[in-house]
Amino acid sequence: MFKRIYVIYKIIFPNGKIYVGKDVARHGHDINYFGSWDCKLVEKDFTKEQLMDFTVRRQILFESADMAEVSRKEGEYIVALRSNDPAIGYNQTHRKKTR
């Protein structure tokens, strides 16, 4: 029987900024999945010419057969890698509250 593996990944963009996400698809890790980052937010950091030849890297940070564990750890990675800091990454969740 096929064992589902779920993952936490880091996307590294050409400008060095990152996005941390999880792949908990019904069938487990999908090599075609590159996250649900906000395209408009990313596009603002690049010129049209840069977007014409655009390479991203996906790195698997954590894997588990336990979907709940992956969901829990995703936030830990976002905070630890500071991908929620606009100067470092594109994650919109787990941002520090401003007054």
Report mean pLDDT in 10-residue bins for the chain, 99 residues.
82 97 81 87 96 95 93 95 96 69
Residue-number span of the structural domain to which 49 is assigned: 6-81
Domain annotation covers residue 12: yes
Domain annotation covers residue 95: no
- Res 96: pLDDT: 63
Please name the amino acid found at residue 70.
V
- Res 2: pLDDT: 58
- Res 35: pLDDT: 84
Neighbours of 23 (CB within 10 A): 21
Domain annotation covers residue 53: yes
Mapped to the 3 state alphabet, what secondary structure does 20-64 carry? EEEECCCCCCCCCCCCCCCHHHHHCCCCHHHHHCCCCEEEEEEEE
Number of domains forming the structure of the chain: 1
